[in-house]
């Protein structure tokens, strides 16, 4: 008897991917990395996760949280909305 819980979706012509929940997923969350993160990037990422976890989703609230908890912005300065946006854009390149 066929398993009716398995679905397939086309990826490109002539190819299908199984959505079988029993099959392992091949997700690599770091697939776009060109190098390992620096210690500063790890600290910043952890602080952003804590801010989101505490409900600071808006930019001004996030920047305020980072200024209280650290790490400081580039060159040891307090974060501003503009400096945060610039830093995140630079880190994403």
pTM over 0.75: no
Q: What is the pLDDT of residues 32-75, one digit of tens each?
A: 678 888 999 999 999 999 999 999 999 999 999 999 999 999 88
The pLDDT score that the predictor gives to residue 27 is 66
C-alpha R_g of the chain: 20
Distance CA 11, CA 17 (A): 7
Those residues whose C-beta lies under 8 Å from the C-beta of residue 66, and which sit 6 or more positions away, are 44, 47, 48, 51, 73, 79, 84
**pLDDT tens, 2-30?**
555 555 455 554 545 555 666 666 666 66
């Amino acid at each position: 008897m066929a398993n009716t819980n398995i679905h397939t979706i086309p990826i490109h012509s002539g190819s299908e991917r199984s959505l079988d929940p029993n099959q392992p997923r091949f997700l690599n969350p770091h697939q776009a990395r060109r190098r390992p993160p620096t210690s500063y990037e790890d600290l910043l990422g952890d602080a952003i996760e804590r801010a989101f976890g505490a409900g600071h989703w808006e930019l001004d609230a996030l920047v305020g949280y980072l200024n209280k908890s650290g790490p400081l912005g580039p060159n040891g300065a307090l974060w501003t909305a503009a400096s945060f946006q610039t830093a995140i854009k630079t880190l994403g390149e």
